[in-house]
Amino acid sequence: MKIRLINRIVFTFASAALLISCGGSGNVSPTTGWNYDDPAWGGFESAKAAPQATPMGMVFVEGGNFVMGSQQDKVTNDWNNVPRKATVTSFYMDECEVTNIAYREYLDWLRRAYPDYPEVYRRALPDTLCWRDKLAYNESMVDYYFRHPDYADFPVVGVSWLQANDYCSWRTDRANERILIDAGILDLNVEEQNNDNVFTTDAYMAGLYEGLVGEPILDLDPNSQGERIARMEDGILLPKFRLPTEAEWEFAAWGLIGNTVEERQIDRRVYPWNGYVTRSDDKKYYGQMLANFKRGRGDAMGVAGALNDHWTYTNPVTFFFPNDYGLYNMAGNVAEWVMDVYRAETSQDSYDINPFRGNVYMTKVLDADGLISEKDSLGRIAYREVTVAENINRNNYKQADNINYLDGDVASQINNAGWKGTVAEEGDIDMASGGGDIEEEGVAKKAITDGMYEYGKSSLISDKARVVKGGSWKDRAFYLSPGERRYLDQSKSAAWIGFRCAMDVVGSQD
């Protein structure tokens, strides 16, 4: 069996090529003078940095600052998304919304990989009944939209936020498994992968998945067994696929890279393009619709012989012109899930670089010996929330769940806004005045704090409410503006909501 030595990794989404050099190659530490990649000198390995290749199906979105928030008057006359300057680091985003055929590939893998757990497949199924309406006939969409080949390149809908996240995890694992296979580190192993013996990136990195070994990597550590698996320091594996944050999605939708000179924005946009909802910057395409939306009550597609956006419901994911980043349907077609938990006033609380609400910090579950615990029955590593005791000396965060930070819950207000000065025995305070349970010397009391929501008059949005961005086929033009936002419970789905994936950029931001 061949053993492979990694000195530099250059990879693409579909394949990974290893450039091989011998130990003692002349690489020398600039700080100690010791040799790198030399077993005689301890075997410290120094894989060289290589530009991150754009993953298949994605485009590079160069980051920068922009004005985030609503850019138009609210039709409901409320103002919960105040414009503010924010900076987003560079990232990758799917060129198109995830399609029916892409999601069917995912379902097929689940069916084949978990024969003893059919409920995993059933949980992932989209809700095809989302097309039904009590006063409309849509049974053809119920019966055919998801599985008929004529709809293969249309966006998948009826998928909840939770299901979309599971898809992102699956895509991460399949992409990284393919990279290891193309690199020759693993051999293709479809037949034997089932139940707890499936490849997941976490399990592989933890040494809990072996698979069919192709050409193992030579371990230069003189105290090792002579070979090892790929690890983070090699730079082989991709970062995780995930949903974009609200800030990332909105930044990408504006496409300001095509609307600036140096650092000057030359024209304020209302939509992901200059002008209104028809094309006006190229005589060849004058008047053509730039998105799939509802122009007015009863007008979903125009008139026979002169259709405007052509589609009653959704459209193929590359039908309309892309924006200046090369992203399709960042307005219209379907609205899209993003990572964030919805709060009306997050714009006033969130950090100005990569703003996001929804952090719940997790750590791997360890066994009694301090090692990563065994995989579960689906081949996955177990995680748990970090504890306050583990973070007692941290200044940047203490608890795991930071969804409600600075947003009206008792703990946030007590810890950050300070006491208002009134403490009363439970029952002596009207909940409408703003209060929450605390414990003091074993006595349940109520605490009134500054900045609390007025319970009984208004209330917290559920921690399970997730932000939905972009207009859809059933929306008026108002929601085509990237700054608009809505929300839906993370376990629910709709015929007008789909999703696309994003990925971190590692290293250089341009």
CA dist list (Å): 171 to 55, 205, 241, 297, 362: 11, 16, 7, 39, 21
Query: Residue 76 pLDDT more than 90?
Result: no
How does pLDDT run across 417-455, given as a tens digit for each residue? 443 444 444 444 333 333 344 444 444 444 444 455 554
CA dist list (Å): 87 to 267, 373, 505: 19, 38, 15
3-class SS string, 209-239: CCCEECCCEECCCCCCCCEECCCHHHCCCCC
Please give the pLDDT value at position 441: 45
Of residues 4 and 245, the one with the higher pLDDT is 245
How does pLDDT run across 357-401, given as a tens digit for each residue? 999 999 999 998 888 999 999 999 999 999 999 999 999 999 999
User: Taking a C-beta distance cutoff of 8 angstroms, is the pair 172, 201 a contact?
Assistant: yes
Mean pLDDT of the chain: 83
Written out in words, the top-level CATH class of the domain with range 58-99+242-354+465-504 is alpha beta
Tokens of 161: 């936020």
Contacts of 284 (CB under 8 A, 6+ apart): none
Neighbouring CB atoms inside 10 A of 308's CB total 18
Query: Residue 353 pLDDT more than 80?
Result: yes
Measure CA 109 to chain center: 21
User: Taking a C-beta distance cutoff of 8 angstroms, is the pair 499, 97 a contact?
Assistant: yes
3-state helix, strand, coil in the chain (%, to 5): 20, 20, 60
Backbone angles phi, psi at 230, to 5 degrees: -70, 150
What distance in Å separates the CA atoms of residue 434 and residue 418, rounded to the nearest whole number?
14
Least confident of 381-395, 407-421, 482-496: 407-421
What distance in Å separates the CA atoms of residue 75 and residue 431, rounded to the nearest whole number?
32
Which of 229, 228, 135, 220 lies closest to 177, judged by CA? 229
Mean pLDDT over 150-174 rounds to: 98
Mean pLDDT over 271-288 rounds to: 68
What distance in Å separates the CA atoms of residue 478 and residue 471, rounded to the nearest whole number?
8
- Which SS3 state, helix, strand or coil, does residue 178 take? helix
Please give the pLDDT value at position 100: 98
As a whole-number percent, the residues of the chain with pLDDT over 70 amount to 81
Amino acid at site 50: A
Q: In the block, which residue shows the tokens 């550590």?
A: 221
Please give the pLDDT value at position 262: 80
Mean pLDDT over 345-363 rounds to: 90
Mean pLDDT over 184-202 rounds to: 93
Residue limits of CATH 3.90.1580.10 in the chain: 58-99+242-354+465-504
What distance in Å separates the CA atoms of residue 45 and residue 297, rounded to the nearest whole number?
65
Of residues 189 and 455, the one with the higher pLDDT is 189
List Cβ<8 Å contacts ≥24 apart for 411-418.
413/449, 413/450, 413/451, 413/452, 414/438, 414/447, 414/449, 417/449, 417/450, 417/451, 418/449, 418/450
What distance in Å separates the CA atoms of residue 251 and residue 61, rounded to the nearest whole number?
9
Question: Which range is most confident: 49-58, 136-145, 284-293?
Answer: 136-145
Q: What is the DSSP letter of 336?
A: E
DSSP output for 388-420: TGGGTT-SS--SSB-TTTTTT-HHHIIIII-EE
Least confident of 117-121, 437-441, 475-479, 486-490: 437-441
Query: Residue 407 pLDDT more than 70?
Result: yes
User: Taking a C-beta distance cutoff of 8 angstroms, is the pair 346, 406 a contact?
Assistant: no
Please give the pLDDT value at position 91: 96
For residue 175, give the H/E element and its range.
Answer: helix 161-182
Which of 286, 341, 317 lies closest to 487, judged by CA? 341
User: Taking a C-beta distance cutoff of 8 angstroms, is the pair 365, 384 a contact?
Assistant: yes
How does pLDDT run across 9-19, given as a tens digit for each residue? 333 433 333 33
Neighbouring CB atoms inside 10 A of 248's CB total 27
User: Taking a C-beta distance cutoff of 8 angstroms, is the pair 328, 322 a contact?
Assistant: yes
Least confident of 295-299, 350-354, 475-479: 295-299
